[in-house]
């Protein structure tokens, strides 16, 4: 399993993409505490995630999928959002490489 950060930008302000959101929510685990930024846990590659989600955005919209490798730090999130990040970045199995975690 790998962690990915997904970001998207809707260029046409009249477009909304509930189907994109629904598709992101089909991944094994997901976090969404920033407007157009998500973190997912998936066995797919970054290319596979992008290919899957690209069909749910417009031709002029932007979509970014980046594998998260390394340390994490954050501030200002409520307990639910912060707890999810803490749990996902300090796994109890060998699925993820150990990461340093820091939150305020």
Contacts of 61 by beta carbon, 8 Å cutoff, 6+ apart: 8, 9, 10, 11, 12, 15
pLDDT on residue 95: 52
Tokens describing residue 41: 């846990």
pLDDT (tens digit, 9 = 90+) per residue, 85-101? 998 887 655 455 444 45
Tokens of 96: 């993820």
Assigned token pair, 35: 């407007």
Give the C-alpha distances (Å, rounded to integers) separating 2 from 5, 42, 104: 10, 5, 25
3-class secondary-structure state, position 50: helix
Report pTM: 0.81
- List of domains in the chain: 2-103 (3.30.70.240)
pLDDT in tens, the chain (104 residues): 899 999 999 887 766 678 899 999 999 899 999 989 999 999 999 999 999 999 988 888 999 999 998 788 899 999 999 999 998 887 655 455 444 455 55
């Amino acid at each position: 399993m790998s962690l990915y950060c997904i970001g998207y930008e809707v260029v046409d302000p009249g477009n909304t993409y509930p189907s994109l959101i629904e598709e992101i929510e089909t991944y094994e685990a997901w976090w969404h505490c920033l407007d157009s930024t998500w973190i997912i846990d998936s066995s797919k590659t970054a290319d596979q995630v992008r290919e899957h989600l690209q069909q749910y955005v417009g031709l002029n919209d932007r979509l970014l999928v980046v594998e998260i490798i390394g340390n994490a730090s954050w501030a200002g999130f409520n307990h639910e959002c912060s707890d999810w990040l803490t749990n996902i970045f300090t796994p109890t199995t060998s699925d993820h490489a150990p990461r340093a975690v820091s939150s305020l």
